[in-house]
Amino acid sequence: MNEALSALRGLFDFFAWPWWLCALPLPWLAHRLLPPRRSTSAALKVPFGDRLDAIATHGGAASGSRTHVLAWLAWGLLCVAAARPQQLGPAIAPPQVGRDLMLAVDLSGSMSEEDMQLGDNVVDRLTAAKAVLADFLDRRAGDRVGLLVFGQRAYTLTPLTLDRDAVRDQLRDSVIGLAGRETAIGDAIGLAVKRLRTQPAEQRVLILLTDGVNTAGALTPIKAAELAKNDGVRVHTIAFGGEGGLSVFGFRLPTPGGDDEMDEATLQAVAKTTGGRFFRARDTESLAGIYAEIDRLEPVQRPGQRVRPRIERYSWPLAGALGLALLAFAVPLRRPA
C-alpha cells in the first residue's frame, strides 16, 4: 500500500495534470464500443478483380498496420504532453529584503583634521570614514542605499539603489569642501527625509556622520528631526572626531574640530526624537564598531528557504506527437517498389 502511494505521489510530482493520462485508452474504447462502418459494394466490375483485391489487401494491411502503430504512439505522446510533465530545476534562494538606507557624510572643512589612525598611517577624518563605510556597505546586501553629502549645503550623490558599487564609487570620489566648508546638519536630515518619503514606511533609515555643529542651512537639526519622526525615518547620529589637536614638539595644541566644537547634545536629541541611536567615535576602531552595531540594529532579512522551480517539459512529447502524426499520414502515400 505504501509503495502504491509513493508511486502515485511520484506521478503527481512529475505531471502537473496526471489525470490526462486516463485518456490513453479512449481510441481503443471508441473502436470497441462504436458500431462498425458499413462496407459498400463495388460499383465497377473489372477483369481479374479477385487478383487485384488480393494484392491491394496484402499491401494495404502492411501499410495500415504501420499507420495504426504510429497513430497510437502519437496519441500516447499527446496525452503525456497534456498531462504537463515537469522537471525540478536547481535550487534557488529568494532575494534578500533590507532597508531603504540613506548615508549622510559630512564634507565640511573640519573633516580634513588628521587625527585618525588607519593601519600604520595617520589620516584625516574623511579618509577614515570612507574606509569604515566601504566595509559597512559590503555587509548590506539587500538594502537600497543612497548617499548624500553635506557642508554648507546638502546634495544627493546617489539615489536609493541596490547597486552598492555605485554608492562606494561616489563615496570614494567625494572630497572635503565639495559641498562647502560649513555644516548644514538640519538640511542634510531634511533632504534624506525627502528622498525616503516615497519608500515603504517600515524600513526608512538615515545614518548621519558629522564632526561639527550646525552652522548653515535653512533647517535646524531639531526641526528636521521632527520632520523625520513624522515621516517614520529613524536617524542614527554619529559624532566623529578625535582630540582635534596639533602635535608640536610632543605637545598637543587644540584646534577647531575637537570636542568643544561638536554639538553632541543636539545629535543625541535628533536620535532620540526619531527613535534612533546616538554614537560617539573618537578613532577609526570605535567608528567601525559603531557601524557594526548599526548593522545589528538594522538587520537585513536573510534569504528564505531555498526552493526548486518546476521547469515545463511538455514541449518534448508534443513535438514527438506532431512528428509521428505527420509520419502516419505520409506512410500511405508511399508507393510500393
Higher pLDDT, 159 or 89: 159
The pTM of the whole model exceeds 0.85: no
Residue 254 above 60 pLDDT? Answer: no
Residue with grid cell 526548486, as numbered in its chain? 308
Write out pLDDT tens, residues 201-212.
667 899 999 988
Q: Which residue has the higher pLDDT, 22 or 220?
A: 220
pLDDT at 257: 42
What is the per-residue pLDDT for 190? 95
Give the pLDDT of residue 14: 80
Give 56-75 pLDDT, tens digit per residue: 455 555 555 666 787 788 88
Residue 253 phi/psi, 5-degree rounding, is -100, 135
- Mean pLDDT computed over every residue of the chain: 79
Domains and CATH numbers, the chain: 8-29+52-87+313-337 (no CATH), 100-297 (3.40.50.410)
Q: Is the pLDDT of residue 156 over 90?
A: yes
Report whether pLDDT(236) > 90.
Answer: yes
